Chains A and B, each alone.
Chain A
Amino acid sequence: MDEMETRLVRCFSSVFPDLAAEQIRTASMETVPAWDSLAAVTLVAVLQEEFGLQINLMDLPELVSFVAVQNYVRKHDTGS
C-alpha cells in the first residue's frame, strides 16, 4: 500500500468509522449503507483537507467507490 493509499484509507476511516481497513478498499456507495449524500459531501471535504485538492462538487457522481476516489485523487493530486 503506497502512502497516498494509506492517507486515503485514513480519510475513509474518519467518515466511515465502522469500516475496517480491508472493507474500505472495496467500499462503494452500493455496499456501504452509511455512504449517503451527506457522507459524500463530508468525504469530499476531508479529501480536500488531506490532499489540498479543490474538488468540484459536480464531480461527486464520479466518486462512488474507494477505487474511483483513488483514481480521482491520483489524477488531481499535485503532491501538496
Chain B
Amino acid sequence: MNLVEALEILKQATPEDTHPLRTFLACGFTPLHLQTFLVAHLRERLPQQRFEVKTGLFGDVAGSIERLPSAGCDILAVVIEWQDLDPRLGIRNLGGWRAADLPDIVRSASLAAARLEEALRRSSAFVPISVCMPTLPLPPLFTTPTRQASSYELQLRQLVASFATAISSESSIRVLNTQRLDELSPLHARLDVQSDLMAGFPYKLPHASAIAELLAALIQNPTPKKGLITDLDDTLWAGILGEVGTEGISWDLDQHTHEHGLYQQFLGSLASAGVLIAVASKNDPALVEKAFERKDLILSKANVYPFEVHWSRKSESVQRILKTWNIGPEAVVFIDDSPMEVAEVKTAFPEIECIVFPNDDYQAIWDLLKRMRDLFGKNAISEEDSIRLKSIRGAGALRESRDGAGASLDDFLQAADASIRFTFGKQAADTRAFELINKTNQFNLNGKRLTDAAWKNYLNDPEAFVMTANYEDKFGPLGKISVLLGRIRGKSIRVESWVMSCRAFSRRIEHQTLKQLFEKFDAEEICFDYQATPRNGPLQEFFAQLLGAPLPAELCFSRAAFSEKSPSLFHRVEEAVNG
C-alpha cells in the first residue's frame, strides 16, 4: 500500500453508528505516516469498524504507555526503535559515540528495556497490546568495521531478544515477527535519514507501510482455520497407491520425494496443535489401510479422522467430513494435487480455502507450508486443542452407540457416566472462554462478539460473573465447552452472553447449566439478552422446547417454570471457584 492509497482509504466513509475502536499508537518518533498506514491497514481488514487514534509524546514511548489510563483505549500498538532504548542509538541525538560511551549505552538500554517491559505488563491487564521491536539498522557507532559484529552490538540485540521473549509470554501481548518483516521490507530500505532529521519520522514509506500492515494483522488476530482435508496420492505421498502398491509410494530424499515428507511432518505439527486432519481420497480402502500401517509414515494414522476413501466425488467426502467435525466450510482447508478435484470441491463449497498441492516445485512447497502456518497459526495451544480430536471421535462413538442401542435418550444419558465441572471465576488468562464466545455460532444467545478490551473490561467489572463448564463422559473429555456471562440483581440473573460448543449438544448440558445457575445464586428468575441470528437455530430450539411456545421478545424463566419443564439430568456436578 502506498501513501496515496492509504490516504484514499482514510477518505472513505465509515458507519457512523458503530462504536469506534480507540487505538493508541505509542512510539518515540513523530507518528506521521505510520499512523496513516496503520489506520488504513486496519480499515482494510475491518471495513465496518471506525478507529479513533491517539498518539503519545515525542521521545517518551515508555512514559506514554505508563500514563495510559485503564480503560483508556481498546487497542495499544507500540513501536519501539533503538533510540527509545537510548537516544544515542538514533541519529537525532549528539550524546556521544566515543568508545568509552558504549558500555554505558548498553547499560542504559537495559534499564530502558526493563522500564518498557514493566509498563507493557501493567497495561496488558486492561488492553491487548501489539508490539514491534526495533526495526532500523543500528547506526555505525561501534568501533568494529560494519562487516564485524561488535560485542556491544550483540549485547544490545541480546537484550532486545530477551525483552521480546519476556513479554511474548503474556497472553495479551503479541510481538511482531521480525522475520516476516524482513521479507516485506529489506533492512537497507528502512531508514530515511532526511525525514528522521528534518521531520522526526525515521521510516521510508514502504517500511512504514510494512510495519503497519503486520501490526494491523496482529491487532485483527483473524480466527484460525480448524480443519484440513488432504488427498493421498501425489499429495500426502508420491505415487499412485493403486499402481505402485504400498511399498512403491515414497516421501524421502533418496527417491527425490522429500517434499511429501515435509508435508506429512507439517500436518503432524498441525495435528499436535489441535487442527483436525481428514483424508479425502479416491482409492481402494483396503490399500489405504495397509499404507497407513507403514512404520515410516511421518503422519500418524491416529492424527487423522475421518478417512473418506472410496470412488465417489470429493465434494461428497468433504460434506461427510464437515458433518463429522461439525464445523462450517469457512473453517476448513482442502488440499489435492488435482486441479480438477480442487475445482469440484471449490464449486460445491466456495467458502473452503482450496489449494492445489504443488508437485515437483520445491520452492512452492516452502511457500505452501508458510501459507498454511498463517491460515492455522494461533496465539497459544489450549487444553481443548489437545483433546479436540479425541472428543470428536468420542462424539462419533456416542452417535453410533445412541443410534444403535435402541434405548431411550434417558437410558442412554444415564449410562454415559457424565460429569460437569462448573467454574465461577474471572480469569484474564482464560483464552478458551474468550475464544468460545467469539467463534461459537449455533448455540449462541445473541451472536455478540467481544473485543479483547471488552472482555478485559467485563472481567474487571465487579458486578459481572463468568460461568464456564467442562464436560467429560465415558466416551472421553470435551474440555471447556460452555461459557455464560451475566449479572446478578437481587433474586434475578441477567444473562448477557451464553455459548456452548456444538460438540456438546444432545447431552442436556444446557439444562444442567441453568439448574446450577438458579441454585448457585439462589435466584428466582433468569432473563436473557436473547437475539435470533441466522445461525443460532439450536439455541432457539432449546428455548422453544423449554417454553413450549414461540420465543417472546423478553425471554425470562422463573425457577418454578424451569423445574417443571427441565428433563431428567444424570450428570455428576462439581463446582470450582476460579478454576
Chain A residues proximal to chain B, CB less than 8 Å: 10-11, 14-15, 17, 38, 41-42, 45-46, 48-50, 56-58
Chain B, Cβ-Cβ closest to A37 = B199
Stretch at the interface among B2-10, B235-243, B271-279: B2-10
Q: Is the CB of A50 within 8 A of B11?
A: no
Contact (A50, B4) CB under 8 Å given A41-B199, A57-B194, A57-B198: yes
Q: Do most interface residues of chain A lie in helix, strand or loop, or is the interface mixed?
A: helix
Q: Is B187 an interface residue (CB 8 A)?
A: no
Q: Does B494 contact A (CB under 8 A)?
A: no
Number of A-B contacts (CB under 8 A): 40
Contact A45 B33 (CB under 8 A): yes
Q: A57-B194, A57-B195, A57-B199 are in contact. Are A42 and B32 (CB under 8 A)?
A: yes
A14 with B4, Cβ < 8 A, contacts A38-B32, A41-B32, A42-B33 known: yes
Interface of B is mostly: helix
Nearest-Cβ distance from residue A20 to partner chain B, whole angstroms: 14
Interface positions of B (Cβ within 8 A of A): 2-4, 7-8, 10-11, 32-33, 36, 194-195, 198-199, 201, 205
Which B residues are CB-close (under 8 A) to A11? 4
- Interface CB pairs A-B, < 8 A, 27: A10-B4, A11-B4, A14-B4, A14-B7, A14-B8, A14-B11, A15-B7, A17-B7, A17-B11, A38-B32, A41-B201, A42-B3, A42-B7, A42-B32, A42-B33, A42-B36, A45-B3, A45-B195, A45-B205, A46-B3, A46-B7, A49-B2, A49-B3, A49-B4, A50-B4, A56-B194, A57-B199
Contacts of A15 in B (CB 8 A): 7
User: CA of A46 to CA of B8 in the docked complex: distance in angstroms?
Assistant: 12
Compute how far the CA of A57 lies from the CA of B200 in the bound complex, rounded to whole angstroms: 12
Q: Which of B3, B36, B195: most chain A Cβ within 10 A? A: B3
B167 to chain A, nearest CB (A): 31
Closest 5 CB pairs of A and B: A57-B198, A14-B7, A17-B11, A14-B4, A41-B199
For B36, the closest partner residue in chain A by CB is A42
Question: How far is it, in angstroms, between the C-alpha of A18 and the C-alpha of B205 when the chains are bound?
Answer: 24
Besides A42-B36, A46-B4, A48-B205, 12 other A-B contacts (C-beta < 8 A): A11-B4, A14-B7, A14-B8, A17-B10, A17-B11, A45-B3, A45-B205, A50-B4, A57-B195, A57-B198, A57-B199, A58-B198
B192: nearest residue on chain A (CB-CB)?
A: A45
Among B4, B8, B11, B201, chain A packs the most CB atoms within 10 A around the CB of B4
A9–chain B nearest beta-carbon distance, Å: 12
Q: In the bound complex, how far is the Cα of B33 from the Cα of A49, in angstroms? A: 13
Min Cβ gap B50→A in Å is: 16
Q: Which residue on A lies nearest to B11, using beta carbons? A: A17
**Within 8 Å CB of B32, what residues of A?**
38, 41-42
CB B311 to nearest CB in A, in angstroms, measures 57
The interface residues of chain B lying within 8 Å CB-to-CB of A50 are: 4
How far, in Å, is A41 (CB) from chain B's closest CB?
5
How far is A42 from B33 in the complex, measured between Cα atoms in Å? Answer: 7
- In the bound complex, residues from chain A placing their C-beta under 8 Å from that of B195 are 41, 45, 57
B232 smallest CB distance to A (angstroms): 49
Q: Give the distance to chain B from A69, nearest Cβ to Cβ, in Å.
A: 15
Instruction: Provide the residues of chain A in CB contact with B4, threshold 8 Å.
Output: 10-11, 14, 46, 49-50
